[in-house]
Amino acid sequence: MKCHNCHMGTVSPVAGPGRTTRYKSLPNLAVPADLAIMTCNHCAEEWMAPADAKRIDEVLDVVYRQELRRRALEVLPGPHEAARIERDLGLSHGYISRIRKGKVPSADLVALLALIYKRPGLLREIEAFWEGKAVKRVQPKSKRRSGDDEAVVEGAA
């Protein structure tokens, strides 16, 4: 089929290493080298029919889940913090330990765990929020004074 993007190339199945794609929450998921995708030989635009989309999705979903778990393992809390985080995020007891043993967490949980890993103070802010303290929205960085970094919940410090 001719490419309806560039009108110069021809579209045919292409497989190979070094490709990435946006898939669900991940902007650069590695595409398995053996996954053939209809690709233009001139502009590299990728095309799909519904049957291709299903096949591509089945393969990418496996890679995506592996990547989610790998990212989660990078930011999982230690055993002494795990119970507090499970409580504050409404997870069942032992959930974090189950991720360590192979459970695939959701993308939103991995994102939260990553934020808490990067800014441990967020956990106290979450607790203050659950305690019912007023929440103040943080201004975009350009509008903030320097050093005014984490003023999210009143009385949360």
CB 8 within 8 A of CB 43: yes
The contact pattern for another protein, residues 38-77, with x = CB under 8 A and - = no contact, is: x-----xxxxxxxxxxx-xx--xx----------------
Residue 99 makes contact with another protein by CB under 8 A: no
Residue 52 or 81 with smaller CB distance to another protein: 52
Structure tokens at 2: 């001719």
Residue 146 makes contact with another protein by CB under 8 A: no
Residue 2 makes contact with another protein by CB under 8 A: yes
Q: Which of 17, 18, 22, 90 binds another protein (CB under 8 A)?
A: 22
Alpha carbons 57 and 64: distance in angstroms, whole number:
10
Alpha carbons 65 and 141: distance in angstroms, whole number:
33
Count of Cβ atoms closer than 10 Å to residue 15 Cβ: 13
Structure tokens at 28: 């650069």
Residues in touch with another protein (CB under 8 A): 1-2, 4-5, 7, 21-24, 37-38, 44-54, 56-57, 60-61
